[in-house]
Structure 1
Amino acid sequence: MVSSPTHVTAAGLARAIRDGEYSPTEVVDAVLERIHERNDRTNAFVTVTDDLAREMAAEAEHAIAEGEPLGPLHGVPVAIKDLDDVEGVRTTSGSLLFEDRVAESDSPFVARLKDAGAIVVGKTNTPEFGLGVTTDNRVAGPTGTPFDPARVSGGSSGGAGAALGDRLVPLAPGSDAGGSVRVPASFCGVYGLKPTQGVIPNVSRPNAYASHTPFSTNGPLARTVEDAALSLDVMAGAHPRDPFSVPKRGEYRAAVDRPIDELEIAFSPDMGIYPVDSAVRETLEDAVSAFERAGATVDAVDPDLGHDNEEILDAYYTMATVRWQSLLDNLEEEGFDPRGDDRDRLRPYFVDLVTDADEPTTREYKRADVVRTRVLDGMADLFGEYDLLVTATAGTTPFPHGEEPEEIDGVEIEPYRGWVLTQPYNLTGQPAASIPAGFVDGLPVGMQIAGERHADDDVIAASAAFERRRPWHDEYPER
């Protein structure tokens, strides 16, 4: 057995706790100790819930002693992104406006994790209101990748990715409206899955339909594919207050052991339209052979999405701006004045991106919908011939804080999101994961695996087959 439970997977901890090899208190104490020892390194956690975690651990031990039925995550520590609510714990959303806000109830997927026996040990960092694919805010500051804390961890679930990559916690779900699960997974060397839209319910209020613009969903982040699948089984399923939620389709954990001999995979590092650093490309071209060794067929194919990367990003921004402006309206309904007196309390990036942005007209919004439709049709054509599409997650490796790239291999890009290949799947609602594929100069590279809507099991099966042939568990930094 590994000497410290902090180095054991979530699935391994659940088994060890059921077998009496670890107690929930022993596990939680070890995790909390590691968080307090190392969090200053990456700044992954905004809040550490020592008292709550120890109280939940004691309850978990009592359940074992009483012979009560144990859930699939009984005694397993979990960290929650600071956009989502844990009853009695503050949810800052990375904003000074909510620095002292305490949640009155659990978000639905948090309640499901608790019901499965998971123990909440804290809240992970996120950019203000989750806006950004890097993680920095005026409440907690920036979060760095464990491989080089002077460099970004990705976002907006950057705290979750860093917490996993530094072995502070075995499970740390995030949310993804444009890459916010997959980019941190790529930059922190962990596994992250954006499931099909609606698989994990998102009860958003006052606007239940906010996640439509663009498609946003919660998703698992973990150090192993098995752990992600196990937590997805717990979080998935329809919810009456989420109009986009869908019924659970089978057990995702079962896909981890499934062979992929019959899968046909299209490989396109850049989707034919995105700039990708040559070293990242080389890393992916070396890694993709693992699918072939696992029995799958791999062909080099570029999808025809009907638009170039700039047009897709413009459509994404048009739709996202509608959602962000709605966020400002919601803040005003809560008594804040983000466009006036409270403007100085917002991060300048948020002000530039949202508060000062021109609101799209309804005609511009519907034109963006047409772009979205062409992307959907292009994906449908590709997935009419192939089961999965494998690409880069990001066109670059983690860069220093505050130094967003303005070009890749001499090609000028939009610095804030022009270096990620994730937005198309938020426009279509399809499942997409980022899996560790290797390193460039000691920095992790993520490989994106996408499938048809509701083919989450195919994405998980391929991810697990890749992991068996190219395991990354011993690659995390240790100091």
Structure 2
Amino acid sequence: MSELRGRSARELATAVREGRLSSLDLVETALTRIEATDALNAFITVIADSARERARAADRAAARDEDLGPLHGMPVAIKDLRSRKAGVRNTMGLAPLADNVADEDSITVERLEAAGAVIVGTTNTPALGHTIKTENRLVGATPTPFDNDRSAGGSSGGSAAALAAGTVPLATGSDIGGSLRVPAACCNVIGLKPTFGLVPERVPADGFSTHSPFFVGGPMARSAEDVAVLLDVLAGPDGRDPFSVPRPDVDYVGATDRPTDDLSIAYSPNLDLQPVAPAVRETVDAAVADLADAGATVETVDVSLPPYEELSMAYVEQVGVFFRAFAQQLADHYELDFETADVEETVRSTIALGEGTDATAERLANVPRTAAYDAVQDVLDSYDVLVTPTLTVPPYSKHLADGYPTEIDGQSVLGVPTDVMLTWVFNLTGHPAASVPAGLTDDGLPVGLQIVGERFAEPDVLSATAALERVRPWAGQYPPI
């Protein structure tokens, strides 16, 4: 049962390809562990029969010395939002879509299966991916495996919890404000938000919807190398995405071998935006100090962002319009009325954020957004990466009804999601950013460290991720299941 959590996906895929391991055995282990960790509600749909069939095909290919790709026979989970597998339920976390079945593969699923992956199921997400707690009326709340009362984060919480529980070695997520990075921080795994356009995404009804704020899909895993392998599979142009860009000529996996003493790191303890809980600050400070001790050049910097109120309002205006339009498209397509449908009140309140925002106001939100981009660029002009905490607090209550903290380090805050995360800024700017395990608090709760790079400088982000993994390894920190 430890096979999936104790070894890297790259190592496992090589062993399957060479006939030293069976893909079917790995898939059976994944299915057994999914069942054993059912209380996490990490999965919405498990596709056991299909997974076994593909695993057998992977084993037959290995017997013929046929290489199916870098994910040959690997069990992989996909987030039940924009990642769609034909013939499998695609609920988007919405109870009214409990029986909705995808009629075609998404680009992500096409690429995963072309690389030899075996998709074992779809992971839990809040309805429409609307917030940073994973709870819905389909399967309930997903806690972090480190504390059953605290959230796995959101909106890719199912994928993060599945990884931390060792059900799969690789998973997908998506991110419009922190939905890859927040769950990674809550579950002690890695979530990478790529540069906008690097990983193509085709939204069936509105291919232009993903730019305000930047919405992207990306890889999640437990190690830097595995994130690099999965990014290598997902990245690259596709004509169905109007924002898709040519792939840079870079080696993502090779970047994880870059020496630590070759890295220059700018450290901002809070982006000069919000207070940070002492337990988080101390853990991130210690992680940054370990990187410096290992030879990295580390300097504390000021990031001259616009004031929190101005910048967060720009984000809320744009993300509110995004979700209102998204909901309207679903309402039209599936004949849903979100005012009366069986959905969470937080879904309705998120959709309502877009009310009253006219086109001019939405466009004017790009003014502070541009100032934020310039401020981040000014830092990255002098350093390889910018490092911050991912969250300002440890993992919080798993239930939507409980809200968010209204006080952090003795200071009053609004009790809204933007208070507790330092991730959404980079959905406004488009820079690649990863959340990486920084360590555990004295209470045993995971803390994430956010690593931000220049646009299309994912190799720098991966290099810093791997450097932290070397100096503060987390493979042995996961709780027993």
TM bracket (short chain): over 0.9
The match for 1:60 among 37, 58, 71 is: 58
Contact 1:132 1:416 in 2 (8 A): no
Residues 159 and 5 (structure 1 numbering): CA distance in 2 closer, same or farther, change over 3 Å? Answer: closer
Rounded Cα–Cα distance in structure 1 between residues aligned with 2:416 and 2:29: 37
Shift of 1:62: 1.4
Report the secondary structure of 1:257's partner residue.
coil
Shift of 1:201: 0.4
Rounded Cα–Cα distance in structure 2 between residues aligned with 1:34 and 1:329: 38
Contact 1:190 1:224 in 2 (8 A): yes
Structure 1 segment 16-95 matched on structure 2, within 5 A: 16-40=15-39, 42-83=40-81, 84-95=83-94
Contact 2:18 2:65 in 1 (8 A): no
Rounded Cα–Cα distance in structure 1 between residues aligned with 2:334 and 2:127: 18
Show the counterpart of 2:239.
240
Report the secondary structure of 1:16's partner residue.
helix
Shift of 1:217: 0.5
Structure 1 segment 361-372 matched on structure 2, within 5 A: 361-372=358-369
Shift of 1:339: 4.5
Shift of 1:70: 2.9
Residues 238 and 414 (structure 1 numbering): CA distance in 2 closer, same or farther, change over 3 Å? Answer: farther
One-letter amino acid matched to 2:383: Y
Task: Check if 1:286 corresponds to 2:283.
Answer: no
Rounded Cα–Cα distance in structure 1 between residues aligned with 2:469 and 2:381: 26
Shift of 1:439: 1.2
Residues 109 and 156 (structure 1 numbering): CA distance in 2 closer, same or farther, change over 3 Å? Answer: same
One-letter amino acid matched to 2:64: E
Shift of 1:276: 0.6
Show the counterpart of 1:255.
255
**Runs (5+) with no aligned partner, structure 2:** none
Contact 2:196 2:431 in 1 (8 A): yes
Shift of 1:39: 2.0
The match for 2:370 among 364, 369, 373 is: 373
Rounded Cα–Cα distance in structure 1 between residues aligned with 2:470 and 2:263: 16
Shift of 1:335: 4.3
Show the counterpart of 2:150.
151
Residues 6 and 466 (structure 1 numbering): CA distance in 2 closer, same or farther, change over 3 Å? Answer: closer
Q: Deviations over 1:259-318 (max 9, x none)?
A: 24333211111012221101210111111023223322100111101x122322111110
Residues 101 and 286 (structure 1 numbering): CA distance in 2 closer, same or farther, change over 3 Å? Answer: same
The match for 2:357 among 360, 366, 372 is: 360
Identical-residue share of aligned pairs (%): 45
Contact 1:163 1:169 in 2 (8 A): yes
Rounded Cα–Cα distance in structure 2 between residues aligned with 1:209 and 1:228: 27
Rounded Cα–Cα distance in structure 2 between residues aligned with 1:420 and 1:255: 27
Residues 370 and 66 (structure 1 numbering): CA distance in 2 closer, same or farther, change over 3 Å? Answer: same
Structure 1 segment 261-272 matched on structure 2, within 5 A: 261-272=261-272
Residues 315 and 3 (structure 1 numbering): CA distance in 2 closer, same or farther, change over 3 Å? Answer: closer
Rounded Cα–Cα distance in structure 1 between residues aligned with 2:4 and 2:469: 21
Rounded Cα–Cα distance in structure 1 between residues aligned with 2:140 and 2:298: 42
Contact 1:294 1:466 in 2 (8 A): no
The match for 1:444 among 421, 443, 446 is: 446
Shift of 1:446: 0.3
Structure 1 segment 220-231 matched on structure 2, within 5 A: 220-231=219-230
Task: Check if 1:213 corresponds to 2:209.
Answer: no
62-71 vs 98-107, which moves further: 62-71
Show the counterpart of 2:468.
466
Q: Deviations over 1:220-277 (max 9, x none)?
A: 1101010000000001001101111112222211111122433321111101222110
Residues 224 and 356 (structure 1 numbering): CA distance in 2 closer, same or farther, change over 3 Å? Answer: closer
Contact 2:18 2:62 in 1 (8 A): no
**Runs (5+) with no aligned partner, structure 1:** none
Shift of 1:354: 0.9
Structure 1 segment 292-303 matched on structure 2, within 5 A: 292-303=292-303
Contact 1:134 1:153 in 2 (8 A): yes
Contact 1:164 1:172 in 2 (8 A): yes
Show the counterpart of 2:348.
351
Rounded Cα–Cα distance in structure 2 between residues aligned with 1:65 and 1:15: 13
Rounded Cα–Cα distance in structure 1 between residues aligned with 2:14 and 2:473: 21
Q: Deviations over 1:49-100 (max 9, x none)?
A: 1001001001111111222233111011000000020111101000022110
Contact 1:134 1:158 in 2 (8 A): yes
Shift of 1:476: 0.2
Rounded Cα–Cα distance in structure 1 between residues aligned with 2:300 and 2:426: 20
One-letter amino acid matched to 1:316: Y
Query: How well do the aligned residues superpose, as a CA RMSD in angstroms?
Result: 1.5
Report the secondary structure of 1:322's partner residue.
helix
Show the counterpart of 1:384.
381
Shift of 1:405: 1.1
Show the counterpart of 2:427.
426
Report the secondary structure of 1:345's partner residue.
coil
Rounded Cα–Cα distance in structure 1 between residues aligned with 2:221 and 2:9: 8
Contact 1:47 1:124 in 2 (8 A): yes
Contact 2:150 2:395 in 1 (8 A): yes
Shift of 1:478: 0.5
Rounded Cα–Cα distance in structure 2 between residues aligned with 1:58 and 1:86: 19
Shift of 1:3: 6.0
463-472 vs 413-422, which moves further: 413-422
Shift of 1:22: 1.0
Report the secondary structure of 1:28's partner residue.
helix
Show the counterpart of 1:416.
416
When normalised by structure 2's length, the TM-score is 0.96
Task: Check if 1:400 corresponds to 2:397.
Answer: yes
Shift of 1:199: 1.0
Shift of 1:194: 0.5
Residues 62 and 359 (structure 1 numbering): CA distance in 2 closer, same or farther, change over 3 Å? Answer: farther
Report the secondary structure of 2:378's partner residue.
helix
Contact 1:6 1:31 in 2 (8 A): no
Q: Deviations over 1:407-450 (max 9, x none)?
A: 21122223231110001110011000111001111100000010
Rounded Cα–Cα distance in structure 2 between residues aligned with 1:3 and 1:423: 35
Rounded Cα–Cα distance in structure 1 between residues aligned with 2:291 and 2:9: 25
Show the counterpart of 2:190.
191
Rounded Cα–Cα distance in structure 2 between residues aligned with 1:123 and 1:26: 20
Rounded Cα–Cα distance in structure 2 between residues aligned with 1:463 and 1:356: 35
Contact 1:339 1:355 in 2 (8 A): no
Shift of 1:117: 0.5
One-letter amino acid matched to 1:68: E
